[in-house]
Amino acid sequence: MAIIHYECKRCKKEFDCDVGKIDFNDMQSNNWRPKFEKDIICPNCGKRTFDEVDLTELGQSQLTELYFKDDTKH
């Protein structure tokens, strides 16, 4: 379980979302984007893509911390 903090680009609401397991191994072939097990769900707008949300400063810190804790990345 990985909870990341986002801001929806449509409604501008900030929210936490459980994206499940994060795969950092595919980042080079995926435009440097991690692959999430679960969808990003805005409480107001519903399912969102990675392009339809912004990582907040907190979200960036959370994702960075998870990246450095990941034992499976190369």
Question: Mean pLDDT across the stretch 53-73?
Answer: 88
Give the DSSP H or E segment for 65.
helix 57-69
24: containing domain: 3-69
pLDDT digits 0-9 by tens, 6-54 = 999 999 999 999 999 998 876 555 567 888 999 999 999 999 999 999 9
Whether 63 is covered by a domain: the verdict is yes
Distance, CA of 36 to CA of 19 (rounded, Å): 6
**Residue with structure tokens 């034992």?**
71
pTM of the model: 0.84
Is 74 a domain residue?
no
Asked, for residue 18, whether it belongs to a domain, the answer is yes
Does residue 10 lie in a domain region? yes
* pLDDT for position 24: 82
Give the pLDDT of residue 73.
53
Evaluate whether residue 8 is within a structural domain. Answer: yes
Number of domains in the chain: 1
Strand pairing of 14-18 and 22-23?
unpaired
